[in-house]
Amino acid sequence: MSAEYANARRRAMEPCERSEDASAPLGWAESAAAWITDMGEEGDYGRACVLDRPMLERIHGRRFATALDVGCGEGRFCRMLQVAGISTVGIDPTEELLGQARRRDPKGDYRIGRAEALEFPDRSFDLVVSYLTFIDIGDIERAVAEMARVLRPRGTLLIANLTSFATAGADGGWQPHADGRLRFCIDHYLDERAEWVSWRGIRVKNWHRPLCRYMTLLLGAGLTLTHFDEPAPNSGDADSADRYRRVPWFLLMEWEKTADQQPRV
Ligand SMILES: C[S@@+](CC[C@H](N)C(=O)[O-])C[C@H]1O[C@@H](n2cnc3c(N)ncnc32)[C@H](O)[C@@H]1O
């Protein structure tokens, strides 16, 4: 195995590795300590060096007063929104992560909650954020409807997610080819499914859904797409940047609430 191959394989496994290790943590509560360590203060590579900058560019100068961060985890993006002058509420079902959010931001508003049943009145927020949480949410249909419901008219839903190409990666995605090089393989693209993935002591279930599943739900919720991006790395080490450029890893979407949800007939 060439050094390049070994290195690429190790790096490639970081974001998404199937785990057969029965002693690995199971789910968000058990993975919380490793997640908090992994995030640190700055966030992991994908956040600090790829997503944070374009996410904040969508926010600056927009006069959002209130924001809901759905699946806020340990609260890093809530803290960043507050620096931008926005009053935030973060919800998350994982108490262990919310505890850390409260420790880091004692005056912040962090509540136990699930995307599928948001405990807020209709039209409560100027901005709703889902920062790499669509992949974690089981009932995405209910969750999208709920995010749209709590947005005020003309409010913004800002989403960062793993691309559906990335989540369709077969056995972690990177596979050696005949020439010895690794290439990213996807399989069963159209089949919605949840799979256990693990990296650096974290083991959680992630959902793969084809892109049309998300787009259909968002369009059906009375939202209009106003911005779409596949952000490139903007900082960090060259090796990681190369890996994140080879595969469509992240997407960023901004949707505007242009109509209230209609009851289904
Ligand atoms: C990949 S982490 C992202 C955390 C944070 N948004 C960030 O970017 O650092 C996914 C988060 O989604 C949360 N989560 C899992 N299921 C959820 C659900 N049904 N509704 C809302 N959040 C959920 C997890 O507890 C976890 O904090």
* Pocket flag, ligand 1, residue 94 (CB < 6 Å): yes
Q: Which residue has the tokens 């890893």?
A: 249
Distance 131 CA to ligand 1 centre (A): 8
Cβ partners under 8 Å of residue 157, min gap 6? 127, 128, 129, 130, 147, 148, 151, 218, 223, 254, 255, 256, 257
7-21, 74-88, 205-219, 240-254: the lowest-pLDDT one: 7-21
Distance 130 CA to ligand 1 centre (A): 8
Chain-centroid distance of CA 189 in Å reads 19
Atom of ligand 1 nearest to the CA of 130: 6
Q: What is the pLDDT of residue 3?
A: 33
pTM, entire model: 0.91
**pLDDT per residue over 5-46, tens digit each?**
233 322 233 444 444 455 566 799 999 999 999 999 999 999
How many other CB atoms are there within 10 angstroms of residue 26's CB atom? 15
Q: Which segments of 137-189 are extended strands (E)?
A: 151-162, 169-176, 182-186
The full DSSP string for 176-215 is E-TTS-EEEEE--TT--EEEEEEETTEEEEEEE--HHHHH
Q: What is the pLDDT of residue 25?
A: 64
**pLDDT per residue over 182-236, tens digit each?**
999 999 999 999 999 988 999 999 999 999 999 999 999 999 999 999 999 999 9
Given ligand 1 and candidates 78, 92, 167, which is best to mutate, with the most ligand atoms within 8 Å of its CB?
92
Distance 71 CA to ligand 1 centre (A): 4
Distance 69 CA to ligand 1 centre (A): 10
Q: What is the pLDDT of residue 26?
A: 77
Q: What is the pLDDT of residue 262?
A: 54
Atom of ligand 1 nearest to the CA of 114: 20
Q: Quote the tokens at residue 176.
A: 């050696």
